[in-house]
Chains A and B, each alone.
Chain A
Amino acid sequence: MALLEVEGLTRHFAIRRPLLERLLHRGQDSVIKAVECLSFSLEAGEILGIVGESGCGKSTTCNLLAKLDEPCSGHIRFDGRDVGELSGAALRQFRAAVQMIFQDPFDSLNPRFRVFDLVAEAPRALGLMGERELTAAVHATLDLVGLRAADYVERYPHQMSGGERQRVGIASALIVKPRLVIADEPISMLDVSIRASILDLLRDLSQRLQFSCIYISHDLSILANICDRVMVMYLGQQVEIGSPADIVRRPQHPYTRALVAAVPVPDPHYRRPPIRIKGDLARPVDPPPGCRFAPRCLHTVEACRRDVPPARAFGPQHLAACHVAPIEPEEDGRSVECPV
């Protein structure tokens, strides 16, 4: 059975206009459709990547999965239980079982907390351990993430490097033995030379401690490197999901194709394929019906502007939500000068 099952997950935010503006323009309140009808599942021990540009709904999805925000509709089933109905002890258990790791190692650690208190926060907040047990757990967890506990417990965040802070962040998530870790761009603010060590650590620990991971990033090349599967989102809609090889080598959705083609490659001999996309990235405010990518797509048919495309299978694990795919290579090969 899957550890996590998400079905039709939707989150909208209403933007209330100021009273005066409403009176003058008689305008309706707008709706940001941050996440629309997301469905996927996650196996125990699996690492799923979510990729997309700003406003694609990655962070909202994170918050929904960690139950820091409530969906407007849809269900999240964790370990077979509907997360929306959890309360009391079951909710506390869930809070321990799902942990987050944050992007900014300089802002995500309270500057007035010492490492010990940072790592001890989850068990303390959830009332899980006695002080003696806690001390042992903090030391063990710090060792686990490669920090010598005795050297670090007394330190404040400003006394550590970015990499060390991010390890403390990871320790503070792992101390409660979570079964799902949601990592929101955990390395994007670290120096290139140490990024791989944090990725290694996450991957290694997820195998040893048997936790699943949802890894959120805007950088497809990192996701392709550590994930078992990658999901592509565009303006709140799930566009494509598949193995890294599916996404990078056999992308079906026109947006995935553009995204893959645009990924920077550290090779001066690399010849970038043409990027077929038009217009600018919008915000998911009062989006039109149908596929959200339709206004920028060069392959639209009538159905794209009318119906949300259903996810269709293109391989064993490979799903893409496009009315038009598969796009014939020759059709795709037509030369289109895209407005820059």
Chain B
Amino acid sequence: MSVIVAKVRRSLREQYRIVRSNRLSTLGLLIIVFALMVAAFAPWLMPHDPDATLRGADGKLAVLKSPSWEFPLGTTQLARDLLSQMIEATRNTVAIGLVSGLISIFIGANIGLIAGYFGGKIDELLMRFTDIIYGMPFLPFIIVLISLFGRDIWFIILAIVLIVWRTSARVIRAQTLAIKQRQFIAFARARGASHWRIMYRHILPNLLPLLLLYTSFNVAWAIVTEASASFLGFGDPGAYTWGVILQDLWVSGHTRTAWWWFAWPALAIVLLVSALVFVSRAYEVVANPRLQDR
């Protein structure tokens, strides 16, 4: 047990070192940690119920108030507190991003690993399947899925996962093909390792930088995708996300007047997505050492 703990600790320390090696990715890491904290402590951070209709100090309904001491991020047309909405939305967006990012990298990595390692007919089958997924346009796909099953957060995650895994599968397959040629794989075979042992104990650790790179890409992708789908009105109406807030604004028709209502969710999306991309840049250097000299 202690061996595993030590391994995990060593690995985490290495990841930390990689991310800290680059100034932009350090900034990215800070943003991500901030978003995670907000998501984790959301219930305690929210000053109001995000669905409550609020009155200002003057006793009037706080409709479309611009940011002030009372409502730091302003209010909506329905006199709801945007700060509370943003906190709740951060939690939902981060959850959707993480869950769909992790599930999609899990699927993509396994499909890529199996296709690349076994090759032949298995590879052919899995890669043609991936090609078919590549042929699916995202928005029509999610629209059909949601009109079939309803606007539920889990169907949105499902839709994102079904689309996002394809890129990671291809990249992992290519890298697996390259690693398969290395002599240490012949070494493992000669020592009697089974196919599964070779794939998951010998090849997978060497894919780690690439996996982390694509995890972070996939999470970013999932967040952007969720935001677009929600903005178009295919989000879960019961759960605030940044996309849902933007959609509410659009429906209210105040896009031109209430700048704050637009600014916060837009800023949040841009910041978190670019933070993820910055962090992944650090891994890109590790996964592809030739970039180091640039």
Distance, CA A109 to CA B197, complexed state (A) = 16
Cβ of A180 to closest chain B Cβ, rounded Å? 12
- Which A residue's beta carbon lies closest to that of B186? A102
Say yes or no for B257: interface residue by CB 8 A criterion: no
A217 within 8 A of B: no
A107 to B180, CA, bound (A): 12
Name A112's contact: one of B183, B197, B206 (CB within 8 Å). B206
Chain B's interface: helix, strand, loop or mixed, by majority?
A: helix
What bracket does the count of chain B residues touching chain A fall in? 10 to 19
Q: Which of A96, A104, A111 has a CB less than 8 Å from the CB of B192?
A: A96
- Chain B residue at smallest Cβ distance from A98: B190
Q: Is A121 an interface position by the 8 A CB rule?
A: yes
- Do residues A110 and B202 form an inter-chain contact, with CB atoms below 8 A? yes
Query: Chain A residues with Cβ under 8 A from B197's Cβ?
Result: 125
Q: Counting CB contacts under 8 A, is A166 at the interface?
A: no
Asked if A141 lies at the interface with its beta carbon under 8 angstroms from chain B, I say no
Question: A111 vs B289: C-alpha distance in the bound complex, in angstroms?
Answer: 14
A159 contacts the other chain (CB 8 A): no
Q: Smallest Cβ distance from B198 to chain A, in angstroms?
A: 9
Could you say which residues of chain B place their CB within 8 Å of the CB of A68?
186, 189-190
A108/B183 in contact, CB under 8 A: yes
Residues of A within 8 A of B206 (CB): 110-112
Find residues 31-82 in chain B having any chain A CB closer than 8 Å to their own CB: none
On whether the beta carbons of A110 and B192 are closer than 8 Å, the reply is no
0/1 interface trace, chain B 164-196, chain A, CB 8 Å (1 if under): 000000000000000000111011111111100
Name the contact of A95 in the complex, choosing from B192, B202, B205 (C-beta under 8 A): B192
Interface check A238, CB cutoff 8 A: no
Tell me how many residues of A have a C-beta within 8 Å of chain B: 23
**Which of A103, A104, A111, A125 is B191 in contact with, Cβ under 8 Å?**
A125
**Separation of A312 and B184 alpha carbons in the complex (Å):** 40
Cross-interface CB contact of B193 among A66, A107, A121, cutoff 8 Å: A121
A55: interface (CB < 8 Å) = no
Provide the residues of chain A in CB contact with B193, threshold 8 Å: 121, 125
Nearest residue, chain A, Cβ from B184: A110
Among A78-127, those with CB < 8 Å from B are 92, 95-96, 99-100, 102-104, 107-112, 121-122, 125-126
Using known A-B contacts A110-B206, A112-B205, A112-B206, determine if residue A122 contacts B192 with beta carbons closer than 8 Å.
yes
For residue B176, give the distance in angstroms from its CB to the closest CB of chain A: 14
| Nearest chain A residue, comparing its CB with the CB of B188 | A121
Q: Are A66 and B182 in contact (CB under 8 A)?
A: no
Query: Is A256 engaged at the interface, CB distance under 8 Å to the other chain?
Result: no
Residues of B within 8 Å of A107, CB to CB, are 182-184
Say whether, besides A92-B192, A121-B188, A172-B191, A103 and B183 are in contact (CB < 8 Å): yes
Looking at B183, B192, B193, B202, the one whose CB has the most chain A CB atoms below 10 A away is B192
B188-A110 in contact (CB<8A): yes
Question: B205, A121: Cβ atoms under 8 Å?
Answer: no
> Is A49 an interface position by the 8 A CB rule?
no
Which B residues are in CB contact (< 8 Å) with A96? 192
Q: Name A104's contact: one of B183, B189, B202 (CB within 8 Å).
A: B183
Residues A110 and B190 in contact, CB atoms below 8 Å apart: no
Asked whether A284 is an interface residue with its Cβ less than 8 Å from the other chain, the reply is no
Q: Which residue of B lies closest to A107 (CB)?
A: B183
The CA-CA distance from A104 to B184 in the complex, in Å, is 9
Min distance, Cβ A285 to any Cβ of chain B, angstroms:
21
A169 in the interface (beta carbon within 8 A): yes
From B184, B188, B190, B208, A99 is in contact (CB under 8 Å) with B190
* Most central of A68, A96, A107 by chain B CB within 10 Å: A107
CB distance from B200 to the nearest CB of A (A): 12
Alpha-carbon distance A270/B291, docked complex (angstroms): 50
Bound together, the chains give a CA A103 to CA B189 distance in angstroms of: 15
Task: Give complex CA distance A100, B186 in Å.
Answer: 9
Top 8 nearest A-B pairs by Cβ distance?
A: A100-B190, A122-B191, A95-B192, A108-B183, A125-B193, A107-B183, A112-B205, A110-B184
29 A-B pairs in the complex with CB atoms less than 8 angstroms apart: A66-B190, A68-B186, A68-B189, A68-B190, A92-B192, A95-B192, A99-B190, A99-B191, A100-B186, A102-B187, A103-B183, A108-B184, A108-B187, A109-B184, A110-B187, A110-B188, A110-B205, A110-B206, A111-B206, A112-B205, A121-B187, A122-B192, A125-B188, A125-B191, A125-B192, A125-B193, A125-B197, A126-B191, A169-B187
